[in-house]
Amino acid sequence: MPDNKSLETLRQEIDQIDREVHALLNRRALCAQQVASSKLADYQRQHGETDLSKVMFYRPEREAQVLQAVIDRNEGPLAGETVARIFREIMSACLALEKPLEVAYFGPAGTFTQAATIKHFGQSVISQPQASIAAVFAQVESGQCHYGVVPVENSTEGMVSHTLDNFMDSPLKICGEVELRIQLHLLGNEGADAQSITSICAHQQALAQARNWLDNNWPGIERIAVSSNAEAAKMALADSSVAAVAGDIAAEQYSLQKLAENIEDLANNTTRFLIIGRENIPASGSDKTSIIVEANNKPGALFQLLEPFHSAGVSLTRIDTRPSRTDTWAYVFFIECEGHQQQELLAGVLSELEESSRMLKVLGSYPKAVL
């Protein structure tokens, strides 16, 4: 039968391609191990020591360049982002052969911050949940973890003030960013159904992001704000009268069924996370720079801060304010712009700001999110 023969031929071709892909993956992994050996040897020559913990194996700018190149050269039929996600996992596995990364994130397990950590670093990362944003900073500052992941803003709820406040005193740098589409589901255990649910639990932000849907579909049901969506998922797992509002990672982590999917009120609900580390990141060619600056307390102070960006043609991507810790009713500005601090144009802007402001702190230059 020609159709069966054709199908068999195609299957044989797929098997052959799989063998070739497999061989190339192992070839790439061997090359990654050689890169690790080369980096260690260079470090030994330069510093005369063999402390592996001080060698920088993870290069955010290099990974951003590779992922962008994957998207740019992709010709389909797979979507560019789909292929980039595959390469993300390949790079994660290869990096783990060089040196497994330990990354602290604002936990517990099953939160969107854990999902952002996996999206940025891949499944091979060793992720360490922390009880607070301050604890994430502390883990990275102490060297217990190589990097940290913290939320910085949500497209509907705005900036995360705790993250900005921690940057005020921390020596850590921003090394990258990752954006995560927030998809919320109504979750319950195997025994849960519409008749058994008497309360709905979630972090207060998740309840706010699904308020209209809950009003229309579950009116009169008690809503309880808890410390995290993961905590809500744990409660739903233990009690069939409790439903949780949480994401896919919580559903998988706690083996919950989806009573309803995609219940967020805004379809483009997105949270942005920052990667924090101890080193400055070289330019990738498509970068952002974040600063904290305190203006002099006088008329026109904000204009003086923004005017150098305008004159140089540097685009701002975010500006926010936080209360100053030095003066009452004074403020510091959290500013993000396009470009890298090593580039001459932006370096000139930063030099102007340093002269005209009370305080300037460069939090880091880092690759723009690719995925």
Q: Among residues 228, 263, 298, which one ends one of the domains?
A: 263
Same domain, 201 and 232: yes
Residue 352 placed within a domain: yes
Query: Tens digit of pLDDT for each residue in 213-251?
Result: 999 999 999 999 999 999 999 999 999 999 999 999 999
Same domain for 288 and 359, yes or no, is: yes
Predicted pLDDT of residue 356: 87
Domain that holds residue 203: 185-263
Q: Does position 336 have pLDDT exceeding 90, yes or no?
A: yes
Same domain, 248 and 304: no
Question: Does a structural domain hold residue 158?
Answer: no
Q: Is 52 part of any domain?
A: no
What average pLDDT score do residues 164-191 get? Answer: 96
355 within a domain of the structure (yes/no): yes
CATH number at residue 300: 3.30.70.260
- Quote the mean pLDDT of the chain: 92
Are 242 and 300 in a shared domain? no
Give 53's pLDDT tier (boundaries 50, 70, 90).
Answer: low
Last-in-domain residue among 195, 229, 263: 263
Domain of 216: which CATH number? 3.40.190.10
Point out the domain boundary residue: 263, 294, 314.
Answer: 263
Determine, yes or no, domain membership for 237: yes
Q: In this structure, is residue 331 part of a structural domain? A: yes
pTM beyond cutoff 0.85: yes
Q: Is residue 338 part of a domain?
A: yes
Q: Over 60: is that where the pLDDT of 350 sits? A: yes
Q: Is residue 330 included in any domain, yes or no?
A: yes
Number of domains making up the chain: 2
Residue 184: CB atoms within 10 Å:
26
